[in-house]
Structure 1
Amino acid sequence: MCGITGYLWTSGKRPPTQQTVDRMTDRLVHRGPDGRGVHRIEHDDGSGIALGHRRLSIIDLDSGHQPMTNEDRTVWITFNGEIYNYRELRDGLESRGHQFRTNSDTETIVHLYEEYGDDCVAHLRGMFAFAIWDDRKRRLLLARDRMGQKPLVYFQTDDRLIFASELKSILAAGDVPSEIRPQAIDEYFLYGYIPHPGTIYQNICKLPPAHIATWQNGRFSVRQYWKPDQVPDANASPESLREDLRDALDESVRLRLRSDVPLGSFLSGGIDSTIITGCMQSQSQSTVQSYSIGFADPRYDESEFAAEAAVHLGTQHHRMMVQPDSLDVLDKLVQHFDEPFGDSSAVPTYYLSELTRQHLTVAMTGDGGDELFCGYDRYPTIDATKRFDALPAAIRRLVTGPWVGLIPGRSEKSIGRRLRHRLRLLGRPLEERYLNWATGSPPSMRRQIYRDDFSASIDGEASEAFVANLMSMTSGMTPGMTPGMTPGIRAMRTDAGSYLPCDLLAKVDITSMAHSLECRSPFLDHHVVEAAYRIPFDQLSQSNRVKPFLTDTFPQHLTDRLKNRSKMGFSVPLDRWFRGDLRDYSRDCLLASDATCHQFLSVDAIENLLNEHDDGAWNHGGRIWSLMFFESWGQFAKQDQAVEAA
C-alpha cells in the first residue's frame, strides 16, 4: 500500500518547483514509510509532469520502487494498491514478448497498458488507484478500483491537473484554492460523509469507484469501466449459487494470501470476519494471526465472540482491551481524514489498526459482507414495504392520510412518534423511504441546526440526489418490470455504491494507512461481488436467521452461536461520552465564541441539541460527534492553511 501524487502542467503554466513536488509527496509519508520516489518530465514546449510516490513495501521488497517505467521509459506509473492476479497476468504478458525487470505487481500494470491501453483495468483483480503517463501521446490515465477501496482525488483547470491519494497532498501544491463547498456541508450532515465525486472543497473532486479519467491536449474526461449485472438469477438453484460463491471467495482469499511480509486478519467474531479468517486458515500452511479489541462497556465489546471464533478456527489470537482517549483520537482522525467524516466507528478501527500494525503489515477484513449478503435490518424492513405498495391506492391513502399527524408522542423513544414517522414514510416513494432509513436526517431536521443565511444557500434535495439517483437507477428498471429487483435488493445495491465506498472503505483506508497497515477485503473481489449479485433476496433474508445464504455456504467456519448472533456493529458509547467525560468539552468546543462552525450553524440550535442530550430526552450522541468532528476539522484546516501559506 502506498501514497501517490502528481502535477501535470501545460506549456502556458509555470512548472511547480521541485520543493513543491517533494512537499506533496512527503505529505503522504504515513501511507508509505518504506521509501519515496519522484520522477519529473519536462518538454521543450514548457509542458510536463511530475509523479510522486511513497511506498509501503508488501511485494518484491527489493526492486519494486516507484515511479516505475517500461523498457524505453515512455510509459510511467505511480500506483497505490495491490493486484492479486499479477502472477497470472505476468505469465500471459511474457508469452506475448513483454520483458520484466522486477517481480512487482506494479510492473504488470505497465505492460498491461502497453498491451491493452485504457482497457488494462478490465484485467485487474485487486484494489488500486494509479496514474499512468504515456509520454509518446502526452496522455495521462487515472484509474480507481471497482468497489472504491483505494482513494484518488484531483484538481483540474485549463492549465494543470493535480492528483493524489489524499486531499492534503493536493493542497500542499500551494496553488489550489481551499474554498469550502457549501453543499458539501449539507451532504456531510445528511450522510456522515461527503459523497463522490465531491469533496469539502469547491474545485477538488474524487474519482468515483470503477471509473477512469484521461487527460490529453487539455481535454479531460471521466467514464465508468465496470458495472455488474444487477439482477438476481431466479432460475439458478441454491446449490449452484452456493458453489459459485464458495469457489469465488476461496479463490479471492487464496490470491490475497500472497505477500512478502507478515499477514493476519481482523477477527471480531461476526459472521463476515469469521468466515474470511476461516477461509484463510483452511488455505494457510501456518497458524493465522488474528486480532481484535475489546471495550469495558459490554454494549460495545465483541471480544468474547472473537475469542470463541479464534478457538473454533484455531488461530493465534491477539486481543487488546482499550479505553479510548476520545479527545486524542479525534484530533488524530481529523488530521488524517482531511474533510469532515462523521462515522464514529473510525475510533475503534483506528485502535484496531494500531494494535495490528505492531505485529503485521497486512490484515484481511470482512468488509462488504453486510452489503452483499443482507447484513443490515433495513434491507428486510424496506423489502417488506412491497406488501403495503401492493394494496389498493385508496387503502394506502387512508393509512398514510392527515390523521397520522394526530398520533400523540414527541420524545425520541415514544411509540407514537415512531409510528407517526413510519406511517408518513409509507406514503413516500421508495427512494425517500430508503434515504430516511439509511440516514435519518431529512432536510427539516438538518435545517434546524443551520443558520438562516446558510440554509438559504444550499439545496437539501440536491444533497439527497446522490443516494436517490443510485436507487432509482438500480438496474434501470422498477421492481414490477424486473423480476428479482425487490426493494431489499435495490437497497443493497444502493449501499454498495454509496455507504460502502464513501463511508466504510474510506474509514478503513484512512485509519489503517494512518498506521501504515494494508487491509485486504476478499468479499470485494469483483468475482465475489458478481456471484453475490446473482442471489435472490428470499435466499439472502429469512425470518429469525442472520445472513442465511452466507452461513449455509460456509458452515464449517462458524459455531452455532456465531451463526445466529445479532449484529453488534463496531461502535463506541457516544451517548455516555457526551453526558460524562466529554460533556463540558463538547460545550466548550461547539459553543466557543471563535468556533468555526458558527459560520454555518446556529449557536442556539447547537445548545438546544446539547441540552436535549444532557437531559436524556434524546440520544444525540451521533449528531454531537458529527458536530465535534466538523468543528475540529474547521480549526485544523484553518491552522494547516496558515502553515502552508507561510
Structure 2
Amino acid sequence: MCGICGLVYSDLQHKVETHVLDKMNNVLSHRGPDGDGAYIRDNVGLGHRRLAIIDLVTGEQPLSNEDESIWIVFNGEIYNFPELRSSLQSAGHAFRTNTDTEVIVHAYEEYGTNCLEHLDGMFSFALWDDREKTLFAARDRMGKKPFYYTRNSEGFVFGSELKSLLQHPSVKKEIDPVALHHYLTLQYVPDPYSIYKDIFKLPSAHFLILKDNTYQIRRYWDVVYQPKIQISENEAAEELHRILKQAVKKRLISDVPLGAFLSGGIDSSIVVTLMAELCTEPVKTFSIGFNYEAFNELPYARAIAEKWGTEHHEFIVTPESMADIIPKLIRSFDEPFADSCAFQTYYLAQLTRQHVTVALNGDGGDETFAGYPRYWLDRYVRPYAALPRFITQGIIPEMVSRIPEPSDIPVEANWIMGLKRLAQVAKTSPKASIVRWGSYFSEDMKQECFNDEMRSLVEGHQSDAFLAEFFDRAYADSFLDRTLYTDLLNYLPGNNLVKMDRMTMAHSLEARSPLLDKEYVEFSARLPEKMKIKGRRTKYLLRKMWTDSLPDNIRDRNKRGFAAPVEEWCKKDLRDLIQDRLLSPSSKIYNFFRPDCIQHMVNEHQKGRINHGRRIWTLLILEEWYRNNNSEV
C-alpha cells in the first residue's frame, strides 16, 4: 500500500521541476512512511511513497523494466502475482525483484493494456512507456485504491489524493457546485466528480491512456447479473465457502504482521472465522465501541473473539475524542465527507496499527449480497414505479403537503412524519435506493435551502437522476440486481471504500477486503435473488451457510455496521460547535445556503421536533472543510 503522484507536461521542453514533484510526493508520506522515490525524464515525472508489505528489501519504486523504457508507480496489492510471475517467466521475462509491482511492468510488455485482465487485486498505478510516449493509468475493479487527475493548459497531473495535486502551482481550487449538490444528498462526492472543478476521479474498473496531449478513458471490466446460475442452495453454499476461503487465503500473503477488523456483524465475523481456520497462530482482532448502548457493537465482537480464541483489542469512542478528531478527518479526506462512521474507523485504524500493518475487513458484503434493509424496503416502492408520474410526482405529494408541518402538531404524532416520508419516497426515483431511504438532503430540501445563486448553478442536476443512469445501464433484469449494481458503482467506491482507504492510510495501515474478491463478486451477482433476500431476511444464503460456525445472535442479527450516535451528538455534545460554525454570521456555508433555513433546521432538531442530525452533521463537515481549505466558489 502506497501513495503515487506524477505529471506529464504538454510542452516537451518543459522539464519537470524536482521541487514540485517532491512537494506532491511528500504530502503523501502517511500513505508510505517506509521510503520514497522519483523518476524524472524531461517533461515526465513519477513520484512514490512506500508502505513496505511484500519484498521488504527490493521493492522500491518507481520501478522499471530491464532497459528502463517502462517505469511504474503502483499503489495496492496483486494477489495472484506469484502465478502471474511464473507465467511471465515462462514467456521469457526476467525479474530482478520479488515484488508484485514488477509483475505489472512485464504483464504490460506482454499484453499491453489487456494486462488488466490478468491482475487480481486492489490497485491504482501509472505506467510511463517512454518508447510510445504514453501514460497508462488504471484503477482496480471495485475502486479500492484512489486515483485523482486533472488536465489543464500545462499538462496532466495525478495523485492518490487531492492534496497531492493541489501542490502543483497550475492546479486551482474552484468548488464544483454540482459536486457539492450531490454531496448534500449522498454524504460523499461521487465518481467521477471531485469537489473541485476540472479535477476528477478515475472511476473503478477504468483505465486511462494519455498520448500526444490527449487522453481517453475506458472501462475494462463490469459486473453482470445475467444469466442466472442454475444451482441449489447447498451447491451455492459450498461454492461460496470455497471462494471465500480462497479469497481470505490470498489476502494472508504478507511479510509483515496482519490482523482483522471485527465489528460483530456477519461479514467481518465470516472473515475472522476463515482466518482462524487458515492461521496456525491466534488471529489478532480489533473492535471499536461507544458508551451509548444502542450503538455499541462490542458484545457481539467479543462473542466471535471468544469463540475463535483471538487476540482481541478494543477502543471506546467518546464525544470528547470525537470532537478533537474532526480537523484530522477533514485533512485526511480532502473533500467533504459526512459518513459519521469515519470516526470509529479512524480510531480503529489507529488502534490496529499499534499491533499490525495489514488488516482484513468485511467491506463489500452488503453490496454483493443485499445486506442493507433498504433492499427489502424497496419492494414497497415498486408499485409506485408502475403508476403514472402525475400521481407519484403530483397528486400524492400535493395531498400530503396539505398536512401541517411537524412544528404545528404534537411530537407524538409520528404517523404525520410517516406520511411526510411516504410523500418524499413517492417523489424520489425508484431507481435511486440510497437517495430514497437515506436521511440526508432531498432535492426539495436543497432547493428550499440553497440561495438564488446556488439554485441557478445546479439547475437541471438531480442526485437521483445521476444514480438512475447506472440503474438503467446494469446488465440485469431484476429491480434488486439493478440496485446492487448501482451501489457497487457508486456507494461502495464513493463512500465505504473511501472511508476505509483514507482512515487506514492516515495511520499507514493496509486494509484488505476478501468480500470484494473478483470471483466472489462475479459469482454472487449471478445467484438468484431468492438466495440474497427472503422476506425481510437479508444475506439469506450467507447466514444459512454459517449455521454451525457463528453464534445465533451474530448470524441472525439485523444489519448495523459501525453506526455512530450523531443525532445525540448534534443535540448535546456538539451543540456549541454547531452554534459557532453553522449559526455564525461568518459561516462559510452561507455562500450556498439561506441562513434562516439552517437556523430553522438546527432549532427543529435540538427541540426534538424532527431528526435532522445527519443533515446538520453534513453541513458541519462542509463548513469545517471549507474553513480548512480556504476555498472560494
TM-score after normalising by structure 1: 0.92
Q: 1:440 to 1:10 in 2, by over 3 A?
A: closer
What letter matches 2:453 in structure 1?
A: D
| Partner of residue 455, structure 1 | 455
* Unpaired runs of at least 5, structure 1: 43-47, 476-481, 642-646
Query: Is 1:351 aligned with 2:343?
Result: no
Query: Is 1:370 aligned with 2:366?
Result: yes
Is 395-404 or 126-135 further displaced after alignment?
A: 395-404
Q: 1:9 to 1:393 in 2, by over 3 A?
A: closer
Of 591, 596, 599, the match for 2:591? 599
Aligned residues: 627
User: Do the aligned partners of 1:232 and 1:533 also contact (CA within 8 Å) in 2?
Assistant: no
Give how far 1:586 is off.
1.0
Taking the aligned partners of 1:387 and 1:232, their CA distance within structure 2 comes to 25
Of 228, 237, 247, the match for 1:233? 228
Is 380-389 or 445-454 further displaced after alignment?
A: 380-389
Q: 1:184 to 1:13 in 2, by over 3 A?
A: farther
| Partner of residue 636, structure 1 | 628
Question: Which runs of structure 2 are paired with 1:540-579 in the superposition (5 Å)?
Answer: 540-543=532-535, 545-579=537-571
Q: 1:569 to 1:590 in 2, by over 3 A?
A: same
User: Do the aligned partners of 2:543 and 2:556 also contact (CA within 8 Å) in 1?
Assistant: no
Taking the aligned partners of 1:259 and 1:138, their CA distance within structure 2 comes to 35
Q: 1:439 to 1:497 in 2, by over 3 A?
A: farther
Of 323, 326, 335, the match for 1:339? 335
* SS of equivalent residue, structure 1 residue 448: helix
Question: Which runs of structure 2 are paired with 1:258-269 in the superposition (5 Å)?
Answer: 258-269=253-264
What letter matches 1:112 in structure 2?
A: A
Question: Which runs of structure 2 are paired with 1:387-402 in the superposition (5 Å)?
Answer: 400=396
Give how far 1:159 is off.
4.2
| Partner of residue 494, structure 2 | 502
Give how far 1:602 is off.
1.6
* SS of equivalent residue, structure 1 residue 363: strand
Taking the aligned partners of 2:457 and 2:292, their CA distance within structure 1 comes to 42
| Partner of residue 7, structure 2 | 7
Taking the aligned partners of 1:551 and 1:215, their CA distance within structure 2 comes to 46
What letter matches 2:443 in structure 1?
A: P
User: Do the aligned partners of 2:428 and 2:435 also contact (CA within 8 Å) in 1?
Assistant: no
Taking the aligned partners of 2:334 and 2:15, their CA distance within structure 1 comes to 26
Percent identical among aligned pairs is 41
Give how far 1:571 is off.
2.3
Give how far 1:595 is off.
2.2
* SS of equivalent residue, structure 2 residue 577: helix
Query: Is 1:250 aligned with 2:250?
Result: no
Taking the aligned partners of 2:420 and 2:454, their CA distance within structure 1 comes to 30
Q: What does the per-residue CA deviation read over 1:99-153, in whole Å, with 9 as the maximum and x for residues that have no partner?
A: 1111100011111111101011111111000000001101000100000000000
Taking the aligned partners of 2:174 and 2:323, their CA distance within structure 1 comes to 27
What letter matches 2:506 in structure 1?
A: A
| Partner of residue 379, structure 1 | 375
| Partner of residue 419, structure 1 | 419
Taking the aligned partners of 1:41 and 1:619, their CA distance within structure 2 comes to 57
Q: What does the per-residue CA deviation read over 1:452-507, in whole Å, with 9 as the maximum and x for residues that have no partner?
A: 221222136344332111112222xxxxxx6xx32222212211111111000001
Taking the aligned partners of 1:543 and 1:368, their CA distance within structure 2 comes to 22
User: Do the aligned partners of 1:84 and 1:256 also contact (CA within 8 Å) in 2?
Assistant: yes
Give how far 1:399 is off.
9.5
User: Do the aligned partners of 1:74 and 1:135 also contact (CA within 8 Å) in 2?
Assistant: yes
| Partner of residue 479, structure 1 | none
Taking the aligned partners of 2:285 and 2:32, their CA distance within structure 1 comes to 24
Give how far 1:581 is off.
2.3
Give how far 1:361 is off.
0.3
What letter matches 1:447 in structure 2?
A: Q
Q: 1:378 to 1:132 in 2, by over 3 A?
A: same
Taking the aligned partners of 2:325 and 2:91, their CA distance within structure 1 comes to 51
Give how far 1:326 is off.
2.4
Taking the aligned partners of 1:192 and 1:111, their CA distance within structure 2 comes to 40
User: Do the aligned partners of 1:30 and 1:515 also contact (CA within 8 Å) in 2?
Assistant: yes
Is 62-71 or 224-233 further displaced after alignment?
A: 224-233
Give how far 1:384 is off.
4.1
Q: 1:310 to 1:38 in 2, by over 3 A?
A: same
Of 205, 213, 216, the match for 1:210? 205
Is 340-349 or 408-417 further displaced after alignment?
A: 408-417
Query: Is 1:185 aligned with 2:148?
Result: no
Q: 1:18 to 1:323 in 2, by over 3 A?
A: same
Give how far 1:404 is off.
4.7
Taking the aligned partners of 1:275 and 1:121, their CA distance within structure 2 comes to 29
Q: What does the per-residue CA deviation read over 1:212-265, in whole Å, with 9 as the maximum and x for residues that have no partner?
A: 000111120000000121236163322332232222111111110000000000
Question: Which runs of structure 2 are paired with 1:15-26 in the superposition (5 Å)?
Answer: 15-26=15-26
| Partner of residue 75, structure 2 | 80
Taking the aligned partners of 1:363 and 1:433, their CA distance within structure 2 comes to 30
* SS of equivalent residue, structure 1 residue 430: coil
User: Do the aligned partners of 2:393 and 2:426 also contact (CA within 8 Å) in 1?
Assistant: no
Question: Which runs of structure 2 are paired with 1:405-444 in the superposition (5 Å)?
Answer: 405=401, 410=406, 414-422=414-422, 425-426=425-426, 429-431=429-431, 435-438=435-438, 440-444=440-444
Of 112, 117, 128, the match for 2:123? 128
Taking the aligned partners of 1:433 and 1:29, their CA distance within structure 2 comes to 38
Question: Which runs of structure 2 are paired with 1:32-181 in the superposition (5 Å)?
Answer: 32-42=32-42, 48-181=43-176
Is 491-500 or 361-370 further displaced after alignment?
A: 491-500
Of 295, 300, 303, the match for 1:308? 303
Q: 1:415 to 1:213 in 2, by over 3 A?
A: same
User: Do the aligned partners of 1:409 and 1:415 also contact (CA within 8 Å) in 2?
Assistant: no
Give how far 1:295 is off.
1.2
